[in-house]
Amino acid sequence: MTDLKRRHIIQAAGAVAAAGMLGLPEAAAAKAADVASEIPADGRPLKDLAEALAKAPRRRDFKTVPMILTKPSEWDDEALRLVVDYKSPHKQAWDNTVIGGPWLNLMRNSLNAQIWSFRHPDFLVVSATHGSAHLALLDQSIWDKYQLTRLAGDKFKTNTLIVDAKGATADAEDFENADGVYSPANNSIPALIKRGVVFLSCHNAIWEEAAALIKADANPDKLTHDQLAAELTNHLLPGVVLTPGAVGTLPELQRAGFAYAA
């Protein structure tokens, strides 16, 4: 058994034990350990954040949502505050808008350089996700129901960015492997989440996606605009943090010391 795998087992066992003491469900604790599984062992602040985010509540039972969110209960306020309040000075917020662009690759490259070149194992990458890139934050069931390839483009018949890539099965201890865990062969949303990357969802993008689906007559249940936006919201990927709007959240991150990248 490799040292890294042994650490993962210890982390999971510790998280489950902590859950018992805190009265948290074991499943939530195990999920927290998995989320942090490829964060460097000496990146403790980032591990702590990832574990706290995994346990923070996400509301996904909306019946309707308004065009402009005005109450913290309408977005993932607790999780978002955890991100904004991250105390390490090593943090970067990416403004990601194009699903077919190099956004996942760029964030992976940034992580690699910060961790191994500049020795910042607690480096936090946040994706402020909107535009067509936001479609990647919706699960495959909602892609199937609404044929989201119409909005994403022909390159994306399905949401391929949520599928594990071939590099995911490589030895995570070999960070120089050109086809390994930290290489372009492992560009995916799940891979980056395991490394502590936080994906922020944009409510404004959701509202606009709902409008586009209604206009295209891709609305099989004949939902109203506010109902359709609610259904899309309810199908965000696990771990994603819903915000009132990605562009509006970026200034909050910049005021908190996040470097801006586009």
pLDDT digits (tens, 9 = 90+) for 205-243: 999 999 999 999 999 999 999 999 999 999 999 999 999
Flag whether pLDDT at 151 surpasses 50.
Answer: yes
DSSP secondary structure string for all residues of 140-198: HHHHHHHTTHHHH-TT-SS-GGGSPPGGGGS-TT-TT-TTSTTSGGG-SHHHHHHTT-E
**Mean pLDDT taken over the chain:** 90
- Number of Cβ within 10 Å of residue 78's Cβ equals 15
Strands 124-129 and 91-96: parallel
Contact (Cβ atoms closer than 8 angstroms) between residue 43 and residue 196: yes
Phi/psi at 63 (nearest 5 deg)? -95, -40
Flag whether pLDDT at 16 surpasses 80.
Answer: no
Residues 184-205: what's their mean pLDDT? 97
Per cent of the chain over pLDDT 90 is 86
Flag whether pLDDT at 19 surpasses 70.
Answer: no
CA-based nearest residue to 193, from 37, 80, 77: 37
Flag whether pLDDT at 3 surpasses 50.
Answer: no
Flag whether pLDDT at 35 surpasses 90.
Answer: no
pLDDT (0 to 100) of residue 37: 85
User: What is the model's pTM?
Assistant: 0.88
Which residues 6+ apart lie within 8 Å of 52 measured at CB?
82
pLDDT (0 to 100) of residue 34: 64
